[in-house]
Amino acid sequence: MPAMNSNDPSRSTGDTLDTAIVGAGVGGLYAAWRLLGCGQPPGGIAVFEASARVGGRLFSVTMPGTTGLAAEFGGMRFLSSHTLITSLAAKFGLKIREFTTGNSESIFYSRGKQWRAGDIAKKQPLPYSLRPDELYLDPFELIVKAVQRVMPSMKHLSPDDWVKMKESLTLDGFPLIDWGFRNLLGRFLSDEALQFIEMGIGYSAVVSNWNAADALSLVVEYTNSATEKTLVDGMQALPNALAAAIVREGSTLYHQHRLVSLRGPAQTGDGLHELVFATPEGPRAVRARRVVLALPRRAIELIGDCAALKEPRVAALLATVTPRPLGKVFVAHEQPWWRPLGLTSGRATTDLPIRQIYYFGTEPDRPAGATGHLTMGYFDHPQLDYWAGLRRLEQPAASGFTVLDPDGPVATEVRRQIGVVHGLDQPMPAPLSVGFMNWEEDPYGGAWHTWNQGVKSWELMKTIAAPVPGMALHIVGEAWSTNQGWVEGALETAEAVVGTLTRIPAN
Ligand SMILES: Cc1cc2nc3c(=O)[nH]c(=O)nc-3n(C[C@H](O)[C@H](O)[C@H](O)COP(=O)(O)OP(=O)(O)OC[C@H]3O[C@@H](n4cnc5c(N)ncnc54)[C@H](O)[C@@H]3O)c2cc1C
């Protein structure tokens, strides 16, 4: 699903802008689109993107050997409670369908034993020595059990109630924000339960020691029965639609423009910012009255020359979140090897390095006209290293999105581990194609971010949105949001900054 190339210099309005937006991920594109919607002159707004495509961490690929199926190397779903993305999809006519993560047939494979999710409630023995009060609960129910010790009323809280509550909750006399989430779980659950949760949730970072108050927000959201959705044409259809709308309305989107230097009005002396971009044709300088950086933490830290962002107070602000790496591998097949096992959609979860295995192409609402099938391996630290090492073996210099050999070391090991997890008698058939992406690499530094222990996210978010007093410099994106790890977080921060810039009520 190619990104559009709208890098048409003839549409440039000259090199002095009202607003320069850096980063054409969903956050930057949404900020541009909303500014236009608020009546800002299109000629005064331009978006600059380092890569040759839009979407950033939304990256929907059609794998060779398939048609009409989005291999989502980045974000792949959203929650029914995410109002901004839901209304944007409606606005742009993007069709929504259900997304399945798990059901009672979902497979777990851990400590050399396989079982189905439904076996837990049927009181089948598991390979974990759980306490009597922890038995027969699935990994998420165990998390809820611990969280309810801090917040007995959590099942009745709306996300808005929860935002107010997280400022005041304490545990053992310490504010909740000072707790690490892993420590909080360990306060109420056994070591074995923690290991079961980490395996069964599928993401080690989710149960690591990030800010417990912000981690609990995620738990509250899922407890409120939010259902999972996705876009029929792939999640990247949203940034593609935003980019098309911006260009249609007369603004310019520059690809292959990587910000390398940013000087504020104090340095330029003319009340404007000076941005210098590395482009295939050499450096290009642009002047702008205000700048919106729609970038994750690592990308901001990579801007080599920017005194304001390197200033210790600002650097410390940016460092209040931790990038969390994730990697994905997709293999495409003609036949859905999982159907004979009674599986149609969702995932298996394991303690093997592949961690999560999703099946796509046999869902009841498979996109019309789609051909082929996809299996996705999905892993974070420490297992990401395992797969990065195998890719290095195959392609030592590769980085970013990589097409791999269907008979190479990564594909061979993926097929072996899928066989073990699912108890396949026959080796999996050779895939039609294989793709790999490691989001830890530059310029991302991670797939998502978590607020650090001890920080007040609700206060910092406002400061980070305009981190340098007296400078019309703004930061938007998922990294410093209340919906970290979600598109919704990027949209919310963009909405807040646009509201400030245009003095309009929030959308
Ligand atoms: C593996 C993975 C799984 C995820 N799962 C989900 C999910 O299921 N649901 C969900 O809602 N969200 C998910 N997310 C998170 C979601 O993708 C992000 O929250 C969202 O896309 C972030 O948008 P953004 O605009 O903040 O940043 P980004 O998408 O990171 O955009 C930043 C842009 O800036 C560009 N850039 C970087 N440096 C420069 C520079 N110096 N100059 C110019 N441009 C630059 C980048 O190329 C990029 O296009 C996932 C992310 C990943 C990676």
Residue from 123, 122, 101, 120 nearest 110 by CA: 120
Is 269 among the domain residues?
yes
Is 288 among the domain residues?
yes
Centre a 10 Å sphere on the Cβ of residue 175 and count the other Cβ atoms it contains.
16
Centre a 10 Å sphere on the Cβ of residue 243 and count the other Cβ atoms it contains.
27
Query: Hey, is 174 helix, strand or coil?
Result: strand
* CB of 74 shorter than 6 A to ligand 1: yes
What is the per-residue pLDDT across 25-58, written as a single tens digit (0 to 9) for each?
999 999 999 999 999 999 999 999 999 999 999 9
pLDDT recorded at residue 164: 78
pLDDT recorded at residue 287: 96
Query: Hey, is 487 helix, strand or coil?
Result: helix
Residue from 375, 294, 293, 304 nearest 334 by CA: 375
| DSSP code of residue 483 | S
Q: Which two tokens stand for residue 435?
A: 């793709």
**458 CA to middle of ligand 1, Å?**
21
Measured CA to CA in angstroms, residue 213 lies from 174, 183, 450, 457 at distances of 12, 12, 11, 9
pLDDT recorded at residue 211: 97
Is 106 among the domain residues?
no
283 and 316, same domain (yes or no): yes
Helical ranges in 5-129 per DSSP H: 26-37, 83-91, 117-121
343 and 433, same domain (yes or no): yes
pLDDT recorded at residue 3: 31
pLDDT of 116 strictly over 50? yes
53 and 67, same domain (yes or no): no
Q: Where residue 428 falls among pLDDT bands split at 50, 70, 90?
A: confident
For the segment 360-368, the average pLDDT, to the nearest whole number, is 87
pLDDT recorded at residue 61: 98
For residues 193 and 142, the answer to whether their CB atoms sit within 8 Å is: yes
Is 421 among the domain residues?
yes
| DSSP code of residue 204 | T
Q: Where residue 1 falls among pLDDT bands split at 50, 70, 90?
A: very low
* Domain encompassing residue 410: 60-101+326-438
pLDDT recorded at residue 492: 97
CATH of the domain at 367: 3.90.660.10
Looking at 205, 226, 247, the residue that finishes a domain is 226
Q: Answer with the residue of higher pLDDT: 428 or 331.
A: 331
Q: What atom of ligand 1 comes closest to residue 73's alpha carbon?
A: 1
**335 CA to middle of ligand 1, Å?**
32
288 and 341, same domain (yes or no): no
Query: Hey, is 137 helix, strand or coil?
Result: coil
**56 CA to middle of ligand 1, Å?**
4
pLDDT of 83 strictly over 60? yes
471 and 398, same domain (yes or no): no
220 and 142, same domain (yes or no): yes
* CB of 358 shorter than 6 A to ligand 1: no
* CB of 485 shorter than 6 A to ligand 1: yes
pLDDT recorded at residue 14: 54
Looking at 165, 194, 226, the residue that finishes a domain is 226
316 and 330, same domain (yes or no): no
Residue from 380, 355, 57 nearest 205 by CA: 380
Which protein residue has the closest C-alpha to ligand 1 atom 13? Answer: 75
Looking at 226, 247, 268, the residue that finishes a domain is 226
CATH of the domain at 132: 1.10.405
Longest dimension (CA), the chain: 72
For the segment 275-285, the average pLDDT, to the nearest whole number, is 97
ipTM: 1.00
Is 443 among the domain residues?
no
| DSSP code of residue 402 | E
Q: What atom of ligand 1 comes closest to residue 484's alpha carbon?
A: 19
Q: Where residue 233 falls among pLDDT bands split at 50, 70, 90?
A: very high
316 and 394, same domain (yes or no): no
134 and 216, same domain (yes or no): yes
For the segment 456-478, the average pLDDT, to the nearest whole number, is 94
Q: Which of 33, 51, 53, 57 to mutate to test the pocket of ligand 1 (most atoms within 8 A of CB)?
A: 57
- Percentage of the chain exceeding pLDDT 70: 95
Which protein residue has the closest C-alpha to ligand 1 atom 20? Answer: 487
142 and 170, same domain (yes or no): yes
CATH of the domain at 26: 3.50.50.60
Structural domain total, the chain: 3
User: For all residues of the chain together, what is the average pLDDT?
Assistant: 93
What is the per-residue pLDDT across 305-326, written as a single tens digit (0 to 9) for each?
999 999 999 999 999 999 999 9
Q: Where residue 225 falls among pLDDT bands split at 50, 70, 90?
A: low
pLDDT of 507 strictly over 70? no
Q: Where residue 4 falls among pLDDT bands split at 50, 70, 90?
A: very low
Which amino acid belongs to residue 160? D
Is 248 among the domain residues?
yes
304 and 292, same domain (yes or no): yes
pLDDT recorded at residue 6: 39
Q: Is the peptide bond before 396 cis (omega within 30 degrees of 0)?
A: no
**77 CA to middle of ligand 1, Å?**
14
Is 4 among the domain residues?
no
Residue from 472, 477, 377, 454 nearest 417 by CA: 377
pLDDT of 88 strictly over 50? yes
**21 CA to middle of ligand 1, Å?**
15
**329 CA to middle of ligand 1, Å?**
18
Is 109 among the domain residues?
no
pLDDT of 13 strictly over 80? no
CA atoms of 240 and 492, how far apart (whole Å): 19
For the segment 208-212, the average pLDDT, to the nearest whole number, is 97
pLDDT recorded at residue 162: 75
CA atoms of 76 and 328, how far apart (whole Å): 11
Which protein residue has the closest C-alpha to ligand 1 atom 10? Answer: 486
For the segment 467-483, the average pLDDT, to the nearest whole number, is 95
CA atoms of 36 and 24, how far apart (whole Å): 15
Q: Which two tokens stand for residue 84?
A: 């901004």
CA atoms of 201 and 409, how far apart (whole Å): 27
Measured CA to CA in angstroms, residue 223 lies from 193, 227, 378 at distances of 19, 10, 23
312 and 330, same domain (yes or no): no
